[in-house]
């Protein structure tokens, strides 16, 4: 997905001279085409994410679109105050792109696992939070990101994520995309964990459980209508995210339900528990450990749906 | 600079001090010492250096001024109010409910380029603006005023290395080098000396000046950059709390303002009108 991201961005930058890339010494093997095509709009700040973000803000405030780009938590947590005070407070046209959301960089260790980013980014006023699940959303999302005037957080995948959507998608920022029809429950997901969630729904259907599946690629602003409709029209809501349960997609969905006074028949949040991993693990191994692979998701959802009433998160 | 011009600028600096003392007294706020130390810098910048227009505060060709030591925003508000960027009645609302003048400088105020308040934010943004200006072949300058405390922040050093790397000679830093920060003397907290030498080693063009001598400030800033191909760094030696005898060179005036009893005495000492 990162390769696709860079390719699409390069195409757009060829037509839009406002686009700059401001880096912090990360992106080897991916960012060179932009550097070679637009050397006067490409700057490597060195290993200095605070300066990267401040510089991007200054560049953006002069009428440009500045993209900061790095892996996992580097362009977000290290420079969070620059994102808040400089970018968001001034509503500057800065796009913060991370490569490898969630556990994608698993074996590199906890420092490289972006597992609280959605919660933190969505708490910032003026910030859009976008997590594409597959190449189709990723590509549409780059265009939406550039078209949007203001801060934007783009949680990019790392490798060749399989497609979740089949065919052309009807993409609109802030609008959920239906992946599968069903009424027994609605599974909402965000980001690249979507292929596990969609595959889980397929497994469930073999057992006669038909779930509506929707991609909430935009966690902020979130599609309130889709959430309310899911609560009213289906047998419950299940959220799946590759992120801490605290403050992530499940929390965002719960906020909408509470605000709207809509009580779903059931509500289950599936994501990462309140801890850090202590063992080495590849991305698939870690997802398996946390029960976020399709077969385990299917079992958890099936067992949960057997219960007669709404329960707590697990 | 003629003698008459000098007199006028010194008068403006005194008025800036007076506004700062009154605003912080009325608002029962702090940081007056940090405002008093930049009164002459403000007066010189806004009368002799910065190309800005109160009638068109967002004119594209304006010089960009960023106050990185946002806690001294009162001094910027004072000079902007004096120049007519906004009505001086706004001073009444400094640090008070519903007012427009926040304790740390706010870009919602006409003439203010950028909001700061947490140290170490101004220079990276100024660097970004300088890059963008050069890219667009624009002639405006970017000037960033920082404090000793600002120069503790890692982000400041990230930015100054970057500015020199890219030879941003449309960028000027002025440091209000009053040698006092929130909890003590800078030399006892994080000694910046030999400050000028450090900056020169980082490939900045450096000048030092008495930050309360308006003619010296004017002369130092008359020609920018100091050296072609290098960003300029003006080390302005100042006195924290300048003009109010019991505040001068004290740590206490970082957080302090004046009491009811002290206000008249302080205004008399600075020669306020």
Spans of all domains in chain A: 2-156, 177-305
Q: What is the pLDDT of residue A314?
A: 45
Which positions in chain B touch A62 (Cβ < 8 Å)? Answer: 128-129, 132-133, 136
Q: What is the pLDDT of residue B95?
A: 96
Peptide bond into B194 cis (omega under 30): yes
> Which of the residues in chain B have pLDDT under 70?
none
Peptide bond into B189 cis (omega under 30): no
Q: What is the pLDDT of residue B253?
A: 82
What are B51-100's pLDDT values in tens digits?
Answer: 999 999 999 999 999 999 999 999 999 999 999 999 999 999 999 999 99
Q: What is the pLDDT of residue A307?
A: 84
Interchain pair B162, A59: CB under 8 A: no
Q: What is the pLDDT of residue B256?
A: 77
Interchain pair B127, A46: CB under 8 A: no
Q: Find all residues with CB under 8 Å of A36, minimum gap 6, and list them.
A: none
- Domain A2-156 and domain A177-305, same fold? Reply is yes
The confidence band for A312, taking pLDDT boundaries of 50, 70 and 90, is: very low
Q: What is the pLDDT of residue A218?
A: 98
Chain B, 105-144: which have a CB under 8 Å from a chain A CB?
Answer: 107, 114-118, 120-121, 123-133, 135-136
Q: What is the pLDDT of residue A228?
A: 98
B171-177 and B142-147: which strand pairing?
parallel
What average pLDDT does this structure show over A183-200?
Answer: 98
Fold of B3-270: Rossmann fold (3.40.50)
The alpha-carbon gap from A45 to the nearest alpha carbon of chain B, in Å, equals 6
Q: Which residue matches tokens 């390719």?
A: A7
* CATH class of this structure's domain A177-305: alpha beta
Residues in chain B: 273
Q: Find all residues with CB under 8 Å of A157, minimum gap 6, and list them.
A: A1, A2, A99, A100, A101, A104, A132, A138, A191, A192
Spans of all domains in chain B: 3-270
By Cβ distance, the residue of A46, A58, A63 closest to B125 is A58
Q: What is the pLDDT of residue B254?
A: 81
Interchain pair A58, B117: CB under 8 A: no
Interchain pair A90, B132: CB under 8 A: no
What average pLDDT does this structure show over A140-151?
Answer: 98
Judged by a CB distance cut-off of 8 A, whether residue A11 touches chain B is no
DSSP string, chain B: --HHHHHHHHHHHHHHHHHHHHHHHHHT---HHHHHTTHHHHHHIIIII----TT-TT-TTSPEEEESSGGGHHHHHHHHHHHTSS-GGGGGGTTSTT-S--SS--TTSTT------STT-HHHHHHHHHHHHHHTT----EEEEEETGGGGSHHHHHHHHHHHHTT-TTEEEEEEE-SEETTEEHHHHS---SHHHHHHHTT-EEEEEETT-HHHHHHHHSSSSSSTTS-EEEEEE--TTTT-TTTTT-SHHHH----HHHHHHHHHHHT--
The reply to whether CATH 3.40.50.970 applies to domain A2-156 is yes
What are A266-286's pLDDT values in tens digits?
Answer: 999 999 999 999 999 999 999
State the DSSP code for A84.
I
């Amino acid at each position: 997905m990162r390769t696709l991201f860079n390719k699409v961005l390069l195409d757009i930058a060829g037509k839009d001279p406002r686009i700059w890339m401001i880096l912090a010494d990360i992106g080897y093997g991916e960012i060179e085409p932009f550097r070679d095509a637009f050397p006067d709009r490409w700057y490597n700040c060195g290993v200095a994410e605070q300066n990267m973000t401040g510089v991007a803000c200054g560049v953006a405030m002069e009428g440009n679109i500045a993209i900061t780009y790095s892996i996992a938590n580097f362009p977000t947590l290290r420079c969070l105050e620059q994102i808040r005070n400089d970018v968001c407070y001034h509503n500057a046209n800065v796009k913060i792109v991370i490569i490898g959301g969630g556990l994608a960089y698993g074996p590199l260790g906890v420092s490289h696992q972006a597992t609280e980013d959605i919660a933190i980014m969505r708490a910032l006023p003026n910030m859009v939070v976008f997590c594409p699940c597959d190449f189709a959303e990723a590509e549409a999302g780059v265009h939406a990101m550039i078209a949007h005037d203001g801060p934007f957080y783009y949680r990019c995948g790392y490798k060749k994520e399989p497609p979740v959507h089949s065919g052309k998608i009807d993409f609109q920022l802030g609008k959920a995309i239906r992946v599968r029809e069903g009424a027994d429950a609605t599974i909402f997901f965000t980001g690249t964990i979507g292929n596990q969630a969609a595959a889980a729904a397929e497994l469930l259907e073999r057992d006669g459980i038909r779930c509506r599946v929707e991609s909430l690629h935009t966690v902020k602003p979130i599609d309130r209508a889709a959430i309310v409709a899911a609560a009213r029209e289906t047998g419950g809501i299940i959220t799946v995210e590759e992120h801490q349960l605290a403050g992530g997609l499940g929390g965002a969905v719960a906020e909408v339900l509470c605000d709207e006074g809509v009580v779903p028949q059931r509500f289950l949040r599936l994501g990462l528990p309140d801890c850090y991993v202590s063992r080495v693990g590849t991305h698939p191994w870690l997802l398996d450990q946390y029960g976020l692979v399709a077969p385990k998701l299917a079992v958890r959802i099936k067992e949960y749906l057997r219960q007669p009433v709404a329960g707590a998160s697990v | 600079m003629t003698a008459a011009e000098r007199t006028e600028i010194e008068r403006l600096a005194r008025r800036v001090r007076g506004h700062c003392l009154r605003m912080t007294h009325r608002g029962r706020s702090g940081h007056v010492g940090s405002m008093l130390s930049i009164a002459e810098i403000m007066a010189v910048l806004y009368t002799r250096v910065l190309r800005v227009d109160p009638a068109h505060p967002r004119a594209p060709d304006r010089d960009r001024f960023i106050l990185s030591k946002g806690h001294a925003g009162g001094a910027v508000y004072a000079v902007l109010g004096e120049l007519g960027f906004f009505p001086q009645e706004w001073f009444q609302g400094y640090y008070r409910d519903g007012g427009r003048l926040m304790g740390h400088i706010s870009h919602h105020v006409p003439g203010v380029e950028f909001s700061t308040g947490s140290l170490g934010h101004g220079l990276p943004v100024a660097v970004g603006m300088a890059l963008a200006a050069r890219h667009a072949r624009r002639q405006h300058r970017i000037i960033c005023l920082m404090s000793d405390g600002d120069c503790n922040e890692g982000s400041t050093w990230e930015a100054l290395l970057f500015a020199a790397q890219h030879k941003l000679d449309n960028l000027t830093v002025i440091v209000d080098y009053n040698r006092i920060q929130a909890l003590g003397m800078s030399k006892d907290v994080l000694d910046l000396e030999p400050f000028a030498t450090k900056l020169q080693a980082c490939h900045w063009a450096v000048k030092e000046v008495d930050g309360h001598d308006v003619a010296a400030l004017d002369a130092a800033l008359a020609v920018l950059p100091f050296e072609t191909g290098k960003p300029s760094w003006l080390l302005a030696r100042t006195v924290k709390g300048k003009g109010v005898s019991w505040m001068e060179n004290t740590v206490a005036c970082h957080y302090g303002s004046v009491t009811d009893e002290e206000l008249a005495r302080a205004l008399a000492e600075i020669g306020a009108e």
